[in-house]
Amino acid sequence: MAVLLQIDFPFSGPWGEDMAAGMEALATSIAAEPGLQWKIWTENREAGEAGGIYLFADRASAEAYLAMHRARLLGFGIAAVNAKLFEVNLPLSRIDRAPLS
């Protein structure tokens, strides 16, 4: 069953195109994570937060990624990481045009 992972954390920038340029290598690394189907990068400059919405093929892949990503963020000095895991209701999501296979 597909699993959605939502992560956000305090972030002071860079934002927008500067973020895209500065984190391209990280995005490429994330794209190779086992079980990852896609990620949407999120940023909220006004609130000083960034993160992402991820779709994984299964819960084990999502949980493994979350553990690794928490450790990576801690290495960047970011200790406050908010994360939630959700099982995806495929029939209802397909009705509402979710990009799911």
Closest CA to 44 of 77, 72, 82, 70: 82
Phi, psi at residue 62, to the nearest 5°? -65, -45
- pTM (2 d.p.): 0.92
Determine the pLDDT at residue 52.
98
34-89 pLDDT, tens digit per residue, is: 999 999 999 999 999 999 999 999 999 999 999 999 999 999 899 999 999 999 99
Domains along the chain? 3-95 (3.30.70.100)
Per-residue pLDDT band for 100 (boundaries 50, 70, 90) equals: confident
Dist CA 74 CA 83 (whole Å)? 14
